[in-house]
Amino acid sequence: MKNKLIAVLFFVFTSFCFAEQSALDSLVNAEKSFASMAVEKGRKEAFVAYLSDDSIIFRPGPINGKKFYSDQPARPGILSWKPAIADVSSSGDLGYTTGPWEFRKENMSDTPVAYGYYFSIWKKQSDGSWKVMLDHGIDTTGPSHETANVIPGPGSKTKNTKKQSTDGTAVILNQEQEFSKASQNDGMKTAFQKYALSDVLIVRDGKEPFHGAESLEGNCGFQPVKADVSADFAYDYGSWNCNAQNGNYVRVWKKQPDGQWRLAVDVSTPIQQQ
């Protein structure tokens, strides 16, 4: 009987892992198709096709991305990018990708004139397709270090073994409020130590994304605007204020086996540099 139970549990676990990997692969493929369309048909057509009707971009504050690109004329230049890091919820319907982008004036054979990293939140639609819910990014001073394959994001290998999460957005928004209080009272580094994974991915203007928050400084305040949750995966976005400077943030949270939500990705950009 014990051997049969072990066999059943093993089958359930492997089936779960296969389904999650399949969802991650489909998400990465959607990102690659989006990027290919941008090179082949232009940014406007690609963004209008892949952004959801209620998608968010920052110009400089949060606005409807689909409407923004629909209203814009097609512009010259080639924007190319590829995913380097990705993660998806255990339910397989909410995730993110991030990776390097380059901009060229005319052709892919041209030398890039601008570099950076994009960050996109994706959500699976009722027809099974993926759409971008939020698109953000940073500028960097030069080309990125290339990666051969897409790397799973922080916390992606930690499975929540408890009952499937039914936490709503209020839980995440409250977590953000507590994180903000800790940051304002004790500093960013202490707040991250309390609320983030040890290998949290930090995305900041002017540098390549890096893991760990040991170098972060300041007593910054954060005001969340909106959040979404699916199983063990959540994201939210909002504004921040730090040392008389304002900006936008996007964060990804992952639920841990102990039931606690931990910060897995933190994207932060100052408004005046967008």
140-150: pLDDT as tens digits: 999 987 776 88
Residue 86 within any structural domain of the chain: yes
At residue 244, does pLDDT exceed 90?
no
Phi/psi at 123 (nearest 5 deg)?
A: -135, 135
156 confidence band (pLDDT: 50, 70, 90)? confident
Tokens for 167, please give them. 């936490």
Angle at 197 between CA 254 and CA 125, to 5 degrees: 25
Q: Give the Cβ contact number of residue 161 at 10 Å.
A: 9
Q: Which of 84-93, 133-142, 151-160 has the lowest mean pLDDT?
A: 151-160
Residue 63: which pLDDT band, with cuts at 50, 70 and 90? very high
pLDDT of residue 187: 96
For residues 112 and 201, membership in a common domain is answered with no
Mean pLDDT within 248-262: 97
What is the domain-level CATH number for residue 230? 3.10.450.50
| Domain final residue pick, 152, 187, 206 | 152
Question: At 41, is the pLDDT very low, low, confident or very high (cuts 50, 70, 90)?
Answer: very high
Predicted pLDDT of residue 147? 73
Other Cβ atoms closer than 10 A to 249: 22
In a domain, 21, yes or no: yes
- Give domain status of residue 160, yes or no: no
Residue-level pLDDT at 165: 56
- 7 has a pLDDT exceeding 50: no
- Do 117 and 223 lie in one domain? The reply is no
Q: Is a pLDDT exceeding 70 seen at residue 134?
A: yes
218 and 106 part of one domain: no
What's the confidence (pLDDT) of residue 174? 96
Q: Are residues 142 and 14 in the same domain?
A: yes
What's the one-letter identity of residue 53?
D
**Mean pLDDT, the chain, integer:** 90
Q: 20 vs 17, 158, 160, 206, CA distance in Å?
A: 5, 12, 13, 33
Least confident interval from 39-43, 77-81, 270-274: 270-274
Residues 128 and 180 in one domain: no
**86 and 207 both lie in a single domain:** no
Mean pLDDT of 207-217: 94
- Could you tell me what percent of the chain has a pLDDT over 70? 87
75-106: pLDDT as tens digits: 999 999 999 999 999 999 999 999 999 999 99
In DSSP notation, the chain reads -HHHHHHHHHHHHHHHHHHHHHHHHHHHHHHHHHHHHHHHH-HHHHHHHHEEEEEEEESSSEEEHHHHHHHSPP-SSEEEE---EEEE-TTSSEEEEEEEEEEESS-TTSPPSEEEEEEEEEEE-TTS-EEEEEEEEEEESSPPPP-SSPEEPTTTT----SSPP---HHHHHHHHHHHHHHHHHH-HHHHHHHHEEEEEEEEETTS--EE-STT--S--EEEEEEEEEETTEEEEEEEEEETTEEEEEEEEEEE-TTS-EEEEEEEEEEGGG-
pLDDT score of 39 more than 70: yes
Same domain, 26 and 140: yes
The arithmetic mean of pLDDT across residues 59-63, rounded, is 96
Statement: residue 197 has pLDDT above 50 = yes
The answer to whether residues 58 and 143 belong to one domain is yes
Nearest CA-CA partner of 100 in 89, 112, 88: 112
Are residues 213 and 125 part of one domain?
no
Total domain count for the chain?
2
One domain for residues 120 and 193 = no
Q: Please report whether residue 183 resides in a domain.
A: yes
In whole angstroms, give the CA distance from residue 24 to residue 69.
Answer: 27
pLDDT > 70? residue 164:
no
Residue where a domain terminates, one of 152, 183, 201: 152
pLDDT at 10 over 70: no
Indicate whether 273 pLDDT > 70.
no
> The domain containing residue 257 runs over which residues?
169-273
pLDDT grade for 158, boundaries at 50, 70 and 90:
low
